[in-house]
Amino acid sequence: WPGALTLIVKNKNSDKTTAFRCPGDAWLRSVIAARGFPIYSTSVNRSGRPVLHKISEICEEFEKYCDLIVDSGDTEDSLPSTIVSLVQPHIKIVRQGEVKVEL
């Protein structure tokens, strides 16, 4: 971290989970630092659906649900983040992406 690695953890005193990611983009980290607290964000895809790479598709899918979409252009050559669940009793790789993880 920072980078394309998302970690899922169990919430304290709850059976629910939360996913955390520290973005690799320095500009975005500076925005988060200026806010002084984490930013809640959606992924650029719906659960179980393919990752969206074109900004036009991202806007079409999410603009009515988000307060802000940052347009950094199309990302057709990029890989999605790796998602790892740290929820016990079994740590598992939910999605192998840019960051290679082996268990």
pTM of the model: 0.78
Express each pLDDT in 31-43 by its tens digit. 999 999 988 877 7
Q: Are 4 and 80 in contact (CB under 8 A)?
A: yes
Express each pLDDT in 13-62 by its tens digit. 998 999 999 988 899 899 999 999 988 877 777 878 888 889 999 999 99
Amino acid residing at 95: R
CB burial string 63-93: b at 16+ within 10 A, e below: eeeeeeeeeeeeeeeeebbbbbbeeeeeeee
